[in-house]
Structure 1
Amino acid sequence: MFAFELAKQFRKSGSQQRFISFISMSSTVGIALGCFVLILLLSVMNGFEKELTSRILSVIPHGELYSVDNRGIDNLEAQRYRLEQDKRIARITPYTKLTGMLQFKGELKAVELTGIIPSENTSQYKERVTDKQWAAFTAEPKGVLVGQGIAEKLQLSVGDPIQVLVPVTTNDLSFKAPKTVSLIVSGFLSIGGELDNLVGLMHLDTASNAAELQSRAQGLQFTFYDAYSANTIMREIGYSYPQAVYMSDWTRTQGHLYNDIQLVRAVVYIALILVIGVACFNIVSSLVMAVREKQAAIAILKTMGATDALIRSIFIFQGAINGVVGITVGVALALLVTPNLSSIVLFVENALGIEVLSGDIYFIDFLPSELQWQDVFITTFVALSLCIMATLYPAQKAAKISPSSSLH
């Protein structure tokens, strides 16, 4: 294309154009850096969201229904069968939850134990413990799997006898001595983050007996095929349930993690789009100066019959070249670094002796990354659009140059 060839010729710098070339190069570098960092950070956010789904949401229930009193769930099996007909539900399991203080050798630690049926929860929890520990837990009715953080704090070992002090509620709100439940440590549950310092698993019948329930289970736990629809589905189920129950879903207990990820994703996107936009202002500056520098050449082209559309196309192409080069370099770097980001960060941690993410605080102890092509395409489209928009004013200014006033 003739306009494209002229644009390439106009880009060639002479001694009088060094400053223009510097501004042009800075715009290219800014666009490349903005695209690279934007794709990289969006991939990190994708990685956190993936780990949240695979680690936290694969263990904690997506939704819960539980009795408002110590009756527990009436007609447990009949209600399970009825609810299992809903195609949105992947699994329903009965449970009973005990909240109390775990006591071992004079030390106390707050704990939330969930009573489950081990044979119905193998896919949910088994991969979080060793096969030997899971087998021991399944075989021992008084067995308990405690969070890794609890075990480290109390220095527990497999086989240790422990007591759980469960508060006793009364109708007149008077104080009573807590009920003591004796259990045996079968293993240690590793989920990640704060949950390791709080949760534990025990057998359903043992938990229900300790809670003095009239039925076998306090409530039902739900796992949905789409975890992010849990809020809507649980309200449908809860409002239509034939018994007075409380309802909850994972967004009430762990939703802050997901909300934080989405907030950071939005802030990162806005901030780095603005960075790319600022880099595009350099395209405006360099093209305006180039138009002034090339006034005589533009006038000559017009006297030779060049149309305003051709002149506009020349400077649009000239600015677009800067944008395309920057976008290409930035995207290429992102595609190279993003899949290896976890290894790169691990190498830096080992080299400098620092820890980017602590497993005691966060639900993972490494920096995750998952590249999604839609992020690459959106970033490329937005950056290229900003670059084209930045060329419109200088291109229009060039098209308005009059040969009679420029050639004198």
Structure 2
Amino acid sequence: MKLAWQLARRFRQAKQQNRYISFISFSSTFGIGLGCFVLITLLSVMNGFERELTHRILAVIPHGELYSVSNEGINNWPAVMTELERDERLVSVEPYTKITGMLQHKGALKPVELTGLAVASVDYSQWRQQVTPQAWERFRQSHNTVLLGQGLIEKFGLEVGDNLGVLVPVTSDDMVFKAPQRIKLTLAGSLSIGGELDNYLGLMHLGKASQAANIDSGAQGLRFRLHDPYQAKTVMRDIGYRFPQAVYMSDWTRTQGHLYNDIQLVRTVVYIVLTLVIAVACFNIVSTLVMAVREKRAAIAILKTMGAQDSLIRQAFILQGLTNGIIGIVAGTVLAVITAPNLASIVKTIEGVFNTEILSGDIYFINFLPSQLQVMDVVLTVVVAVILVVLATLYPASQAVKVAPASALNG
């Protein structure tokens, strides 16, 4: 192996004297390094989006819901909650009532979805990133207060303490719509989640919401938070099928699952495309080594006449190509490891220089480019790149072994 390394180094030094072969060799190294850099960086961005989805969206919206089929609500819900809280898969269970209506202020109307919570028993730490302590305290003190999404507040031009009206549709037993019921509320503060959710969501008190929705038991349904939100569908089916009354089942994948699916789709596409980019760069290694074999036919013939085994020749050319690939892999990986954790600040600087915004908070659920570097992504990228480089060296190495000493020296 030591002799093979020496031969590979000699062949590589001689190759650098040929400018054309040297250029192709450099382009292969650069392409492999660029592919590794971009692949690791973009995978880190996908990891960042998934982290923000978990910490922002899934920290606020329930992972799962069970809500009554009829207006009776959940029968004896305090006892049911006590029983469900024994399930080790659940972090918490809380009652809720959801009403949908039109928010009215100074003649303007906007659709709104208000969720009534038992505010006295709600853990504020769950809402710390979305609601300020002052707004939460005002919200907690009065049953007639409401927290509205930041987008709604901006569209209406509202301020804390403004009086609002919510028009709630009313139906009779024969499903005939009556004049809507108007609920009077006072704005306690803003609810900042991000993206489209800020344009229609709001929080109010459970008693007020249940009264407006004519829920007899005082709670329309139960909201669940799970230790593993990605198991929500399975867990909710298990709980729902064993529930003592007729209920509808829902989980976050039905309302916000498209975000997670989009992230996974982009991750898959990015990995496939950039792996192919690395593979294309490896074709340059094939070209480089094939030309090197043709250029070194006489040297190979001399080595064979001196007793060099085919395995030695094969190893020398494999190591030569592997050296080019490893240099690109190491350079691209190191650059990605340095860049990925600092990507948010780098993008922020670029936005400031060009006075632009890459991610708009009005459209996306975040207004910055997140990034989370994971060791497994780095290892997987490096392993795949090394495998592709090794495969690229096999054909030229086999051609070098086939060189016939007699014809090569006579030529």
Provide the TM-score with structure 2 as the length reference: 0.98
> SS in structure 1 opposite 2:249?
strand
The match for 2:348 is 346
Aligned-partner Cα distance in 1 for 2:240–2:15: 75
Q: Per-residue CA shift, 1:257-296, capped at 9, x if unaligned?
A: 0000000000000000000000000000110110000000
Moved more, 375-384 or 164-173: 164-173
Aligned-partner Cα distance in 1 for 2:211–2:111: 20
The match for 1:186 is 188
Is the counterpart of residue 229 in structure 1 residue 241 in structure 2? no
The match for 1:155 is 157
Aligned-partner Cα distance in 1 for 2:229–2:215: 30
The match for 1:127 is 129
Aligned-partner Cα distance in 1 for 2:232–2:177: 37
Aligned-partner Cα distance in 2 for 1:34–1:201: 47
Aligned counterpart for 2:260 among listed residues 258, 261, 264: 258
Is the counterpart of residue 210 in structure 1 residue 208 in structure 2? no
1:1-400 counterparts in 2 under 5 A?
1-13=2-14, 17-121=18-122, 122-400=124-402
Relative to 1, partners in 2 of residues 1:14 and 1:174: Cα closer, same or farther, differing over 3 Å?
Answer: closer
Aligned-partner Cα distance in 2 for 1:222–1:15: 65
Aligned-partner Cα distance in 1 for 2:230–2:266: 18
Deviation at 1:16, TM superposition (A): 6.3
Q: Is the 8 A contact 2:32 2:282 kept in 1?
A: yes
Q: Is the 8 A contact 2:16 2:22 kept in 1?
A: no
Deviation at 1:19, TM superposition (A): 1.0
Aligned-partner Cα distance in 1 for 2:239–2:135: 35
Deviation at 1:120, TM superposition (A): 2.7
Moved more, 212-221 or 112-121: 112-121
Q: Per-residue CA shift, 1:346-390, capped at 9, x if unaligned?
A: 111111111100000000000000100110000000000000000
Aligned-partner Cα distance in 1 for 2:43–2:353: 26
Q: Is the 8 A contact 1:126 1:134 kept in 2?
A: no
Relative to 1, partners in 2 of residues 1:15 and 1:29: Cα closer, same or farther, differing over 3 Å?
Answer: closer
Deviation at 1:15, TM superposition (A): 7.9
Q: Which amino acid aligns with 1:288?
A: V
Q: Is the 8 A contact 2:169 2:177 kept in 1?
A: no
Q: Which runs of 4+ in 1 moved over 6 A?
A: none
Aligned-partner Cα distance in 2 for 1:15–1:215: 83
Identity of aligned residues (%): 62
Q: Is the 8 A contact 1:32 1:328 kept in 2?
A: yes
Aligned-partner Cα distance in 2 for 1:404–1:136: 94
> SS in structure 2 opposite 1:407?
helix
Deviation at 1:175, TM superposition (A): 2.4
Q: CA RMSD in A?
A: 1.0
Q: Is the 8 A contact 2:62 2:224 kept in 1?
A: yes
Q: Is the 8 A contact 1:13 1:21 kept in 2?
A: no
> SS in structure 2 opposite 1:165?
strand
Q: Which amino acid aligns with 1:62?
A: H
Aligned-partner Cα distance in 2 for 1:66–1:19: 71
Q: Which amino acid aligns with 1:207?
A: A
> SS in structure 1 opposite 2:269?
helix
Q: Per-residue CA shift, 1:164-184, capped at 9, x if unaligned?
A: 000012232322100111111
Q: Is the 8 A contact 2:97 2:209 kept in 1?
A: yes
Aligned-partner Cα distance in 2 for 1:48–1:42: 10
Aligned-partner Cα distance in 2 for 1:352–1:88: 48
Aligned-partner Cα distance in 1 for 2:344–2:395: 43
Q: Is the 8 A contact 2:15 2:21 kept in 1?
A: no
Aligned-partner Cα distance in 2 for 1:57–1:299: 67
> SS in structure 2 opposite 1:168?
strand
Aligned-partner Cα distance in 1 for 2:165–2:16: 84
Provide the TM-score with structure 1 as the length reference: 0.99
Aligned-partner Cα distance in 2 for 1:7–1:316: 8
Q: Per-residue CA shift, 1:196-253, capped at 9, x if unaligned?
A: 0010000001100111111010000000000100011001111111100001000000
Moved more, 262-271 or 74-83: 74-83
> SS in structure 1 opposite 2:126?
helix
**Structure 1 residues without counterparts, runs of 5 or longer:** none
> SS in structure 2 opposite 1:184?
strand
Aligned-partner Cα distance in 1 for 2:259–2:182: 34
> SS in structure 1 opposite 2:155?
helix
Q: Per-residue CA shift, 1:86-145, capped at 9, x if unaligned?
A: 100000000000100010111111000000012332222243222111111000111100
Aligned-partner Cα distance in 2 for 1:64–1:79: 14
> SS in structure 1 opposite 2:97?
strand
> SS in structure 1 opposite 2:129?
helix
Aligned-partner Cα distance in 1 for 2:16–2:178: 91
Q: Is the 8 A contact 1:24 1:286 kept in 2?
A: yes
**Structure 2 residues without counterparts, runs of 5 or longer:** none
